[in-house]
A = this chain, B = another copy of it.
Amino acid sequence: MYSSKPVTHARRMLLYRALQCRRKRSSAVAATSNVKVVNDVRHVRGEYGCVTEADVRHFRSLLGEPNVLTGAENVGPYNVDYMKQASGDSGLVLRPKTAEDVSDILKYCNDRSIAVCPQAGNTSVSSGSVALFDEVVLSTERMNNIINFDPVSGVLVCEAGCVLESLMKYVDGHGYMMPLDLGSKGSCQIGGNVSTNAGGIRVIRYGTLQGCVLGLEAVTADGTILDCLNTLRKDNTGYHLKHLFIGSEGTLGIVTKVAILCPNLPKHVNVAFIGLDSYDKVLKLFSIARAEFGETLSSFELLDNTAVTYVESKLHLSCPITNVHPFYVLIELASSQPNVGQHMENVLEKALGDSVISDATTTDQMSSIQKIWKVRETVIEALLKLGYVYSFDISLPLNRFYEIVELTREKLKDVADVKTVCGFGHIGDGNLHLNVVTSQRNEELARMIEPFIYKWTSKCRGSVSAEHGIGLAKTQFLEQTKSKSAIDLMRSLKNSMDPKCILNPYKVIPAVAASDQ
């Protein structure tokens, strides 16, 4: 979710045409095949019903002609993965307007055993939002109304297809902010954010969506509209069902409405960019920052020198501090209190005197704040200019956080095609983005580094996907993060809630359609 470019129809078409060209060159992708291999995992099309002309007529009568898309030119763009990693062969896109429409579609598809791929902003970097075979794509893009905002409680209720950035602007007008912020905010939709439990740069302050979403409405596989659209902060009546849909990537139901608790906009923001000599000192600074800044700490981000070097050389951005250091930290404080800037300076001055940090610059000017954030936010863009980027999104205990970058560097030091290995990420959340750059995609290398990194992550009780989900891209690594008993229970929930396995098959947990059992 790195790009903030909106996915306009024009851009979808460009991506689609680029992919069509790639397809013609590649013999590995057979559009009509019943078998596909994704990241070495062999997927066989489930025994689903095929969409017929009668089905299309039914959907047209239900949704109206313009909201039922067929034909390669219309459907193609919805088959293209945001990262161009995967592509689907769907021949039908449905654009419902209401939860009742979604219910009617799912009821019909469930009866006919037709597989459905829910799609919101289609910004998944784990290929979770495009079809694999000929699943019907259910796009939430027309369900984009804000239903209510309560300026006293800060609770926003809206439909699933609202674009995150438009919600940010809307609540900003009331003195509030959305509790999440992502690179893809210009195109991602809140329903997709909720379905993937999207994180971003301020989880340290506002927590994940599991904590911020007060309620939701979802439609389950058989078309049942599940009303859990609670707008209360406290409600201990029965099972907390909303959590079944937050982060399950559309495999247990399609989120149609959400209620989110928005924090107040901070009045004072101060950002520091800091140079440090070692990772141990980064951890020391994090302890100091948590203890000193407490509730005002809204970001604590790490970049290694390699990452910053490429941002400078490839994007011609300046590092906010001139001397070179092995590590850099970006701290953001956001507060209702006016003296956070002074507090930041006092704390950093002491840390400098105690040799915890080597250099620092601070600012409360919006233009300088944006410049500093740009260095942090454009690392992937810089690396993409260097070559093909293998990007790993892992969670680790903080004391093991940087070790894997060094181990990967060591392991790959004699591999000719490897251009660089670097690490950056959200220290505050224990979320590392580890990157390996090569001149081009190299399957053999992928087969070497993926298991190496994920096994090590598993050994440290880390997570193989901190914020990007499992989608289609990481199903084979789920077992390295989750216990067998947990995966068994997931499968049992899936079978119980979607016995025909029509919802987003092949994703998250290996597909177990009733017919395959």
Contact = CB atoms under 8 A, between A and B. Distances in A.
Interface of A: 150-154, 175, 196-197, 199, 203-205, 207-208, 210-212, 220, 224-228, 230-241, 243-244, 246-248, 252, 263-264, 266-267, 283, 286-287, 290-296, 334-337, 339-340, 343, 395-399, 426, 428-431, 461-470, 474, 478, 481-483, 485-490, 492-493, 496-497, 508-509
A234 B463 contact: yes
A492 B495 CA distance: 12
20 contacts: A196-B236, A199-B236, A204-B233, A205-B295, A207-B211, A208-B233, A226-B483, A226-B489, A228-B483, A230-B463, A232-B462, A236-B468, A237-B470, A237-B482, A238-B490, A238-B508, A239-B247, A266-B294, A292-B336, A496-B496
Given A153-B430, A463-B230, A336 B287 contact: no
Given A207-B211, A233-B428, 17 more contacts: A152-B286, A208-B234, A210-B240, A226-B486, A231-B397, A231-B461, A232-B430, A234-B429, A238-B481, A238-B482, A238-B486, A239-B490, A263-B294, A295-B334, A296-B335, A296-B336, A489-B497
Contacts of A466: 232, 234-236
Contacts of A492: 496-497
Given A203-B233, A295-B296, A337-B343, A154 B290 contact: yes
A233 B431 contact: yes
A146 to B, nearest CB: 17
A485 B239 contact: no
A485 B429 CA distance: 36
Nearest to A428: B233
Given A233-B431, A237-B463, A240-B197, A398 B485 contact: no
Nearest to A286: B152
Contact of A287 (B152, B241, B292): B152
A211 B295 CA distance: 16
A339 B335 CA distance: 12
Contacts of A203: 233-234
Contacts of A235: 395, 463, 465-466, 481
Contacts of A397: 150, 153, 231-232
A455 to B, nearest CB: 15
Contacts of A496: 492-493, 496
Per assembly, the copies of the chain total 2
Contacts of A493: 239, 493, 496
B290 A264 contact: yes
Contacts of A207: 207, 211
A336 B336 CA distance: 12
A470 B462 CA distance: 35
A339 to B, nearest CB: 6
The 10 A-B residue pairs with the shortest CB-CB distance, nearest first, are A211-B211, A294-B336, A243-B243, A235-B463, A234-B466, A232-B395, A227-B483, A233-B429, A237-B481, A496-B496
Given A152-B287, A208-B211, A337-B339, A465 B237 contact: yes
Contact of A241 (B220, B286, B474, B486): B486
Contacts of A240: 197, 210, 243, 246-248
Contacts of A227: 483, 485-486
B244 A470 contact: no
A149 to B, nearest CB: 13
B236 A197 contact: yes
Contact of A236 (B224, B233, B237, B463): B463
A483 B215 CA distance: 13
A497 B244 CA distance: 14
Contact of A252 (B239, B461, B483): B239
Contacts of A252: 239
Nearest to A474: B237
Contacts of A263: 294-295
